[in-house]
């Protein structure tokens, strides 16, 4: 079974738009677990425009499944992650002001930096994942950092899916084989949804985990959170 990690950033965005504590990020995360999610993901940004540092500290003792913190590994981010000790840290190359992740790491030019980050996280017993595209040499370079997994940036797949499903998924299937061949676990995320997820998981081997936030929370407005999580889990069977 492929794990579903629910990114609760959008819940925090809605809360922050009004102030107060409605919707309650902690309660929603606990409900996601209760409804069958296999993990909770957060992506705290320096301006705290959605998930706040305080949310991360509140979530850590409450999350009973896997807790994944993703973000750019600045010293501020590392201080938070090493303090909280999540199950997994996903390293993304985002600049502080971007709306959402839009590309993976170019690993080779950042090899020394990423290797140092991975070493620090692994010393703390935190599983590491590097956010990458489908370039095969780049995935092999990611393995050289000592990271446990790669997370494939699935934005290009989602963009091309309606036009050419087979062509859209082919680079991701090849990337999955390459990651597996160098001993890395495989995660995926970005713009996966109820329309494209089942096809993706059927054609991409060795997939261990998907992280989904925006689409899942949007679907929950219509279907309800429990039914939505069930629908996404059904796609992963």
Per-residue confidence (pLDDT) for residue 169, from 0 to 100: 98
Q: Distance (Å, rounded) from C-alpha 124 to C-alpha 49?
A: 28
Catalytic positions are 43, 70, 190
The pTM assigned to this predicted structure is 0.95
pLDDT of the residue at 142: 98
**Separation between Cα atoms, residue 69 and residue 81, nearest integer Å:** 7
Residue 11: half-sphere exposure toward Cβ, Cα within 13 Å:
26
The 10s digit of each residue's pLDDT in 140-174 is 999 999 999 999 999 999 999 999 999 999 999 99
How many other CB atoms sit within 10 Å of the CB of residue 15?
A: 20
Report the candidate in 178, 189, 117 with the shortest Cα–Cα distance to residue 143.
Answer: 178
**Class of the domain covering 3-235:** alpha beta
Domain ranges of the chain: 3-235
C-beta separation of 178 from 155 below 8 A: no
* Count of C-beta atoms within a 10 Å radius of residue 121: 25
pLDDT at 158: 98
In the chain, which stretches have pLDDT less than 50?
none
């Amino acid at each position: 079974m492929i794990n579903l990690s629910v990114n609760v950033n959008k819940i925090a965005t809605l809360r922050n738009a009004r102030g107060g504590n409605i919707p309650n990020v902690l309660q929603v995360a606990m409900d996601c677990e209760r409804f069958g999610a296999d993990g909770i993901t957060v992506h705290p940004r320096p301006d705290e425009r959605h998930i706040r540092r305080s949310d991360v500290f509140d979530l850590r003792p409450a999350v009973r499944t896997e807790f994944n913190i993703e973000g750019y590994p600045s010293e501020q981010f590392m201080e938070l992650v090493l303090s909280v000790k999540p199950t997994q840290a996903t390293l993304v190359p985002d600049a502080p002001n971007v709306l959402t992740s839009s590309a993976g790491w170019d690993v080779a030019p950042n090899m020394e930096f990423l290797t140092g980050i991975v070493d620090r996280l692994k010393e703390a017993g935190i599983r590491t994942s590097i956010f990458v595209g489908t370039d095969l040499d780049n995935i092999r370079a990611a393995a050289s950092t000592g990271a446990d997994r790669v997370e494939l940036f699935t934005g290009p797949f989602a963009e091309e899916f309606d036009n050419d499903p087979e062509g859209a998924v082919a680079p991701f299937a090849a990337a999955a084989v390459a990651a597996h061949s160098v001993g890395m676990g495989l995660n995926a995320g970005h713009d996966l949804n109820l329309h494209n997820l089942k096809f993706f998981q059927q054609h991409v081997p060795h997939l261990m985990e998907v992280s989904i936030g925006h689409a899942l929370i949007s679907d929950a407005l219509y279907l309800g959170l429990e039914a939505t999580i069930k629908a996404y889990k059904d796609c992963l069977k």
